[in-house]
Amino acid sequence: MPEESLMELCRRLVASSRESLESAMVVTEDGVILAHNPVDRVNEDAAAVGAAVVAGLKYISEHYGLGKVSRFDVDLVSGGARRKLVMKPMEGGKILILITSQRPNLGLIDLLLEQVR
Protein backbone atom coordinates (compact mmCIF):
# COMPACT_ATOMS: atom_id res chain seq x y z
CA MET A 1 0.00 0.00 0.00
CA PRO A 2 1.59 3.35 -1.03
CA GLU A 3 2.33 5.95 1.65
CA GLU A 4 -0.50 8.22 0.40
CA SER A 5 -2.98 5.38 0.86
CA LEU A 6 -1.65 4.72 4.37
CA MET A 7 -2.06 8.41 5.25
CA GLU A 8 -5.61 8.30 3.89
CA LEU A 9 -6.32 5.14 5.92
CA CYS A 10 -5.16 6.85 9.13
CA ARG A 11 -7.15 10.01 8.33
CA ARG A 12 -10.28 8.02 7.49
CA LEU A 13 -10.11 5.90 10.66
CA VAL A 14 -9.81 8.93 12.95
CA ALA A 15 -12.51 10.88 11.08
CA SER A 16 -14.93 7.92 11.02
CA SER A 17 -14.46 7.07 14.69
CA ARG A 18 -16.77 9.82 15.99
CA GLU A 19 -14.06 10.97 18.43
CA SER A 20 -13.38 7.43 19.69
CA LEU A 21 -9.84 7.59 18.27
CA GLU A 22 -7.28 10.22 19.13
CA SER A 23 -4.76 8.99 16.61
CA ALA A 24 -3.92 6.30 14.09
CA MET A 25 -0.55 5.35 12.66
CA VAL A 26 1.01 2.70 10.48
CA VAL A 27 4.50 1.50 11.38
CA THR A 28 6.90 -1.18 10.22
CA GLU A 29 7.86 -4.06 12.49
CA ASP A 30 11.06 -2.21 13.38
CA GLY A 31 9.15 0.91 14.46
CA VAL A 32 9.51 3.17 11.41
CA ILE A 33 6.45 5.41 11.16
CA LEU A 34 5.01 5.27 7.63
CA ALA A 35 1.84 7.33 8.17
CA HIS A 36 -0.05 9.00 10.98
CA ASN A 37 -3.06 11.15 11.74
CA PRO A 38 -3.34 13.77 13.09
CA VAL A 39 -0.51 14.96 10.89
CA ASP A 40 0.67 17.67 13.31
CA ARG A 41 1.68 15.27 16.08
CA VAL A 42 2.84 11.70 16.35
CA ASN A 43 3.32 9.50 19.41
CA GLU A 44 6.70 7.89 18.75
CA ASP A 45 6.56 5.97 22.03
CA ALA A 46 3.28 4.32 21.02
CA ALA A 47 4.79 3.43 17.65
CA ALA A 48 7.81 1.80 19.28
CA VAL A 49 5.76 -0.09 21.87
CA GLY A 50 3.20 -1.24 19.31
CA ALA A 51 5.81 -2.46 16.87
CA ALA A 52 7.71 -4.35 19.57
CA VAL A 53 4.59 -5.96 21.06
CA VAL A 54 3.13 -7.09 17.74
CA ALA A 55 6.46 -8.30 16.35
CA GLY A 56 7.12 -10.24 19.57
CA LEU A 57 3.67 -11.81 19.63
CA LYS A 58 3.89 -12.65 15.95
CA TYR A 59 7.23 -14.40 16.52
CA ILE A 60 5.96 -16.35 19.54
CA SER A 61 2.73 -17.39 17.83
CA GLU A 62 4.59 -18.61 14.72
CA HIS A 63 7.37 -20.28 16.70
CA TYR A 64 5.00 -22.16 19.01
CA GLY A 65 2.18 -22.72 16.51
CA LEU A 66 -0.35 -20.70 18.49
CA GLY A 67 -2.11 -19.22 15.48
CA LYS A 68 -2.16 -15.84 13.83
CA VAL A 69 -2.23 -12.65 15.92
CA SER A 70 -5.09 -10.59 14.53
CA ARG A 71 -5.23 -7.81 17.12
CA PHE A 72 -3.81 -6.83 20.46
CA ASP A 73 -5.23 -4.24 22.91
CA VAL A 74 -3.44 -2.67 25.88
CA ASP A 75 -5.09 -0.51 28.54
CA LEU A 76 -3.23 2.75 29.12
CA VAL A 77 -3.74 4.52 32.45
CA SER A 78 -2.03 7.83 33.14
CA GLY A 79 -3.08 10.30 35.81
CA GLY A 80 -6.63 8.97 35.90
CA ALA A 81 -6.98 9.03 32.11
CA ARG A 82 -7.82 5.65 30.59
CA ARG A 83 -7.19 4.91 26.93
CA LYS A 84 -6.46 1.85 24.83
CA LEU A 85 -3.57 1.14 22.52
CA VAL A 86 -4.99 -1.06 19.75
CA MET A 87 -2.50 -2.84 17.48
CA LYS A 88 -3.35 -4.82 14.36
CA PRO A 89 -0.88 -6.49 12.00
CA MET A 90 -1.43 -5.59 8.34
CA GLU A 91 -0.25 -7.12 5.08
CA GLY A 92 3.37 -6.58 4.13
CA GLY A 93 4.74 -6.50 7.68
CA LYS A 94 3.00 -3.24 8.59
CA ILE A 95 1.25 -2.60 11.90
CA LEU A 96 -1.75 -0.35 12.48
CA ILE A 97 -1.65 1.35 15.88
CA LEU A 98 -4.64 3.23 17.28
CA ILE A 99 -4.88 5.32 20.43
CA THR A 100 -8.44 5.67 21.70
CA SER A 101 -10.05 8.58 23.47
CA GLN A 102 -10.94 8.21 27.14
CA ARG A 103 -14.48 7.03 26.36
CA PRO A 104 -14.24 5.16 23.07
CA ASN A 105 -17.02 3.36 21.30
CA LEU A 106 -15.20 0.02 21.10
CA GLY A 107 -17.91 -1.51 18.92
CA LEU A 108 -17.41 1.21 16.32
CA ILE A 109 -13.63 0.72 16.49
CA ASP A 110 -14.15 -3.02 15.94
CA LEU A 111 -16.26 -2.30 12.85
CA LEU A 112 -13.63 0.11 11.48
CA LEU A 113 -10.86 -2.46 12.04
CA GLU A 114 -12.77 -5.15 10.14
CA GLN A 115 -12.19 -3.10 6.98
CA VAL A 116 -8.39 -2.98 7.41
CA ARG A 117 -6.24 -5.69 5.80
Amino acid at 15: A
Q: Hey, is 52 helix, strand or coil?
A: helix
> What are the tens digits of pLDDT across the range 10-46?
999 999 999 999 999 999 988 899 999 998 778 888 8
pLDDT at 106: 95
pLDDT over 80 at 1, yes or no: no
- What's the CATH number of domain 3-114, 3.40.50.2300, 3.40.190.10, 3.30.460.10, 3.30.450.30? 3.30.450.30
How far apart CA 9 and CA 92 sit, in angstroms, is 15
Q: What are phi and psi of 82, to 5 degrees?
A: -120, 125
Q: Hey, is 114 helix, strand or coil?
A: helix
How far apart CA 1 and CA 62 sit, in angstroms, is 24
How far apart CA 111 and CA 117 sit, in angstroms, is 13
pLDDT at 86: 95
Q: What is the mean pLDDT of the chain?
A: 91
How far apart CA 62 and CA 88 sit, in angstroms, is 16
pLDDT at 33: 93
> What are the tens digits of pLDDT across the range 70-108?
898 989 898 888 999 999 999 998 999 999 999 999 999
Please provide the size of the chain in residues. 117
24 close to 14: Cβ distance less than 8 angstroms: yes
pLDDT at 41: 78
19 close to 100: Cβ distance less than 8 angstroms: no
Hey, where are the domains in the chain?
A: 3-114
pLDDT at 11: 96
